[in-house]
Structure 1
Amino acid sequence: MIYRTIIFDFDGTIADTMEEGRRIFNEIGPAYGIRQIDREEMEGFRSYTINQFIEEMKIPKTKIPFFIAKGTLAMRRSIAGLPLIAGVGEVLPALRARVDRFGILTSNAVDNVELFLDSHGIRGLFDFVSSTSKLTGKSRHLNATRKQYGLKTEEMLYVGDEVRDLQAAKKAGIPCAGVTWGFNTRERLAAEHPDHLLDNPAEFLALAGH
C-alpha cells in the first residue's frame, strides 16, 4: 500500500518529550494531590494504557482537562530546546518527498508543536498541525482530515507511540503504525495489531513509494 498522507502523533513519536513530561507532571501534580513519579518507575508505566495510568496515579477525572492545560502551558517554556527522537530528523525530509501530505495530530498544544518544529527547522515539511484537548478525541479529527482533503481511508496512515493512537486510527478506519521508541512498549503496541510496527525511524521509508 502506498500512503498519500501520513499524519504523526507528536510527543514520543517525533519529539523526545518523555523526560520533560515527567518533570512537569511532578511539578504540577502536588496541587492536585497527585504523587510524583521517579525516572525508574516510568519504564513500568510503558505497558499501561492512558486510562490505566490515570487510575494507578489516582488522577481525578474531573481535573484532567485542567491538568492537561497546565501541563501544556508549562511545556511551552522548554519545548524549543527539547530534542527530536534520534534518527527522525534525517528520515522525515526523505519520507516527505514520497507522499502528498504530512500532518501532525496531537493532544499537545499547536503553539508548542510549532515552536518545536521551528526550532529544528522542519516546520516546512508539514502541511498542517492539529490538536485535540481530549485524550481520546483523535478519531474524529482523523475523519475530519480525510473529508477535508477528499482522501480514501486506505491512503492515510496515522503514526503514534501509544495504544490510544492506534485505537483512534482503528476507530476512524484508517491504517496505523506504532513506533516502539515512545511511551508504550513494543509488546503493548503489538497487542493492538497495528498495520505496521516500527523499531527504528529508518523503517518509515518502507511505508511510502519511491
Structure 2
Amino acid sequence: MQYSIILWDFDGTLADTLPGLLRIFNDLAPEFGLEPIEDAQAMRDTPPSDLLRQRGIRWWKMIRLRNAIVRRQKNEIDSIRLFPDVPEMLERLHASGYRLGVVSSNSAANIRRCLQASDAEQWFELVVGSWQPLGKHRSLRRVLRRTGVHPQQALYVGDEVRDITAARRAGMDAAAVTWGGNTRHLLAQYHPEKLVDDPIELTGWLTDVSR
C-alpha cells in the first residue's frame, strides 16, 4: 500500500512526554478523587478504555482532567523533546514526498512548541490538537476531508491501542510504535499494519512501501 499522507499521534509517539504526564496525573489525582498510578508498567499493558473503567473515570471527568493536564503541561513543554532519531525520520519522510500531519489529544500550542524546539515543525503541513470524547477517529476523518486524501491513502502512527482503533474507524491503516504508552505485546493483539521498535525501522518500512 502506498500512502500519500502520514498522520501522527504526539504524546508517546513523537515526543517523550509520558513520564511527565504520569507525574502530572498523580499530582492532580486527589483533586479529581482518583488513585495515583503507581505501576507504570502495568498501565502500559492495559488498554486505555480498561484503565479508565478500572479507575471509574467517566467521560465528563475525563474532559476536565484532560484540560487540567494540558494546562499543567504547558508550563513544562519547553523541556520536552522528540524521541531520538525522530527528527531525522521526519526529515527523510518529508524528503521522500510524504505529507505529514499531527492529530493528537494534546493542544496544538503545546505540540507546536515542542516541534519548534526540535526544529521539526517545518516538516508538518498541519497540527490538529483537540480531545474528542466520542473518539479520535472523528478528528482523523475531518483531517482527511480537509486535505482531500482518501482514507486508503492515509496512515496513522500511534503508540496506543486506541490509536489503532481510531485509524480503523476512520478507514485508515495504522502503524504502532513500541516505545510509548502500550507494550508490544498489547499492540500486537490489535494487528496494526506495521509494529515497529524504533524510528529507523519505521523509516525503512515507509521508504519501501512508497516505491
Please give the per-residue CA displacement for 1:110-169, whole angstroms capped at 9, x wherever unaligned: 111011111111111110001231255221222222222222222111000001100000
Question: 1:94 is matched with which residue?
Answer: 92
Corresponding residue number in structure 2 for 1:6: 6
Q: 3-state DSSP class of the match of 2:11? A: coil
Distance, in Å, in 1 between the alignment partners of 2:18 and 2:177 is 14
Change (3 A) 1:185 1:53: same
Separation of aligned partners in 2, 1:73 and 1:127: 25
Q: How much has 1:90 moved relative to structure 2?
A: 2.1
TM-score normalised by L of structure 1: 0.93
Structure 2 counterpart SS, 1:68: helix
Segments of structure 2 that go 5 or more residues without pairing to the other structure are: none
Stretch of structure 1 that moved more, 123-132 or 145-154: 145-154
Partner of 1:23: 23
Query: What is the SS of the residue equivalent to 1:27?
Result: helix
Runs of 4 or more, structure 1, over 6 Å off, are none
Counterpart in the other structure of 1:148: 146
Please give the TM-score of this superposition, normalised by the length of structure 2: 0.93
Give 1:185's aligned residue. Answer: 183
SS state at 2:176 partner: strand
Write the deviation string for residues 149-208 of structure 1: whole angstroms up to 9, x where unpaired: 222222111000001100000011101101111011111111111111111100222213
Who is 1:37 aligned against?
Answer: 37
Corresponding residue of 1:72: 70
Which letter does structure 1 place at the counterpart of 2:117?
S
Partner Cα distance (1:52, 1:66) in 2: 19
Query: Contact 2:108–2:130 at 8 Å: present in 1 too?
Result: no
Q: Distance in 1 between matches of 2:156 and 2:138?
A: 13
Paired with 1:159 and 1:19, the residues of 2 have a C-alpha distance of 20
Q: Give the AA of the match of 1:17.
A: T
Q: Distance in 2 between matches of 1:11 and 1:183?
A: 8
One-letter amino acid matched to 1:51: S
- Counterpart residue number, 1:138: 136
- CA distance in 2 between counterparts of 1:80 and 1:135 reads 27
**2:81–2:117 contact (8 Å) kept in structure 1:** no
d(CA) in 2 for partners of 1:42 and 1:17? 14
How many percent of aligned residue pairs carry the same amino acid? 34
The answer to whether the 8 Å contact 1:5/1:99 transfers is no
- Number of equivalences: 208
Instruction: From the superposition, tell whether residues 52 and 198 of structure 1 become closer, same or farther in structure 2 (CA, over 3 Å).
Output: same
**C-alpha RMSD of the superposition:** 1.4
Aligned to 2:106: 108
Secondary structure, aligned partner of 1:121: coil
Q: Is contact 2:177–2:196 with CA below 8 Å preserved after alignment?
A: yes
Aligned equivalents of 1:191, 1:121: Cα separation in 2: 35
Structure 2 counterpart of 1:181, which letter? W
- Answer yes or no: is the 8 Å Cα contact 2:102–2:128 preserved in 1: yes
Q: In 2, are the aligned partners of 1:6 and 1:99 still within 8 Å (CA)?
A: no
| Structure 1: unaligned runs, 5 residues or longer | none
Q: C-alpha displacement at 1:19, in angstroms? A: 0.5
